Amino acid sequence: MKKNAIGKAMSRLAGGALLALSAFSVSVAAADWPTKNIHLIVPYSAGGNTDLVSRRIADLLQEELQATVVVENRPGAGSTIATGRLARGGRDADHTILMASPGHVIGPAIYPNLQYDPVNDFRFIEKIIQIPNVMVVPADSPYNTVDEFIDAAKHQNMTFSHPGVGSSIHMSGELFKTFTKTQLTAVPYPGSGAALPALLTGDVNVSFENITTVLPHIRSGALKPLAVTSAQRSRYLPEVPTVRESQGYDLDTFTTASWNGVIAHKTFPDEGVAALRKALQQVKQNPTFLTFIEQAGAETITLSGDAFDAFIASEVARWQMVAAEAGIRQQ
């Protein structure tokens, strides 16, 4: 009996030692990453919102990880060129990350011949920030609420501007059209720099622009906000309701927003994921970063693991439905 008791005790001690050794090994592995420069791919041109966010995060990640973070711009086809290259993996796949945005979930809906799976070919490390869109009309527009606008759009053709096919601004308008069954015609412009003047002068009736772009014009009185498109009101426009708060129409599930999050190739190592998530949490508490996102009208958000995976899968399905109904296809 005593020998059995001693044996059991020894087994428990051995098991505990193995668990401790395992935890130590994981800790050491996480500490070993990165072992070389990290490449942060921006799937858009320099100077845009995603590029600015990426460069600020890269600077702060360098401090947290004590490693060089090299930012590379690879624009084209609504982010799908860079994303396709990431999906193919390659020599540096274990140290390459990409700053994803709504283009990651919208691209598969409008580009029919992509050679990658937007869900299964990647690891979704962490969603970092979210920027609501704002439904805005010119200052002299006769419409003051979402319901008033919908009532009018039920009986006459309305136009909405956007800075490019497949952008979150464009797809927000298409989603609104789908929800409300209204006569909305999309008017594309080569970027927000051209789309915004068309709205300000009344050449189009409405837009679903990023809050970053329109907030100064709302505060000056040049544009009138009808609603924000996020699930909750924005702290930057607390008096402006959400589209979901519309009383006359069933819009209680309407939400869209621009966002940024870090993704990697599906073979990206666990120790890299752990190190990045820990570092990104520190970045999001950094006063420099908090000041930066406040100027952009953004909110920090933490979505990782299974929750980030589920978000991506649901968004891919949603935009495929919207693009199919609107007949949006790009070659």
Residue 275 has a pLDDT of: 98
Distance between alpha carbon 55 and the CA centroid of its chain, in Å? 16
Query: CB under 8 Å to 87, separation ≥6 — which residues?
Result: 115, 116, 117, 121, 122, 265
Distance separating alpha carbons of residues 71 and 73, to the nearest angstrom:
7
Distance separating alpha carbons of residues 51 and 237, to the nearest angstrom:
25
Q: Nearest 5°: phi and psi at 135? A: -80, 110
Class of domain 35-130+259-326: alpha beta
Strand-pair category, 184-188 with 206-210: unpaired
Terminal Cα distance for the chain, rounded: 77
Q: Map out the domains of the chain as residue ranges.
A: 35-130+259-326, 131-245
Instruction: Render 138-175 in DSSP notation, one character per residue.
Output: ETT-S--SHHHHHHHHTTS-EEEEESSTTSHHHHHHHH
35-130+259-326 matches 131-245 in fold? yes
Mean pLDDT per 10-residue interval, the chain, length 331 residues: 47 50 45 93 92 96 97 95 96 96 96 94 97 96 97 95 92 95 93 90 96 94 97 95 91 94 98 98 96 92 94 97 91 67
Distance between alpha carbon 114 and the CA centroid of its chain, in Å? 20
In the block, tokens 């973070």 appear at 69
Residue 112 has a pLDDT of: 86
What the block records as the tokens of 241 is 């309701």
Class of domain 131-245: alpha beta
Residue 313 has a pLDDT of: 98
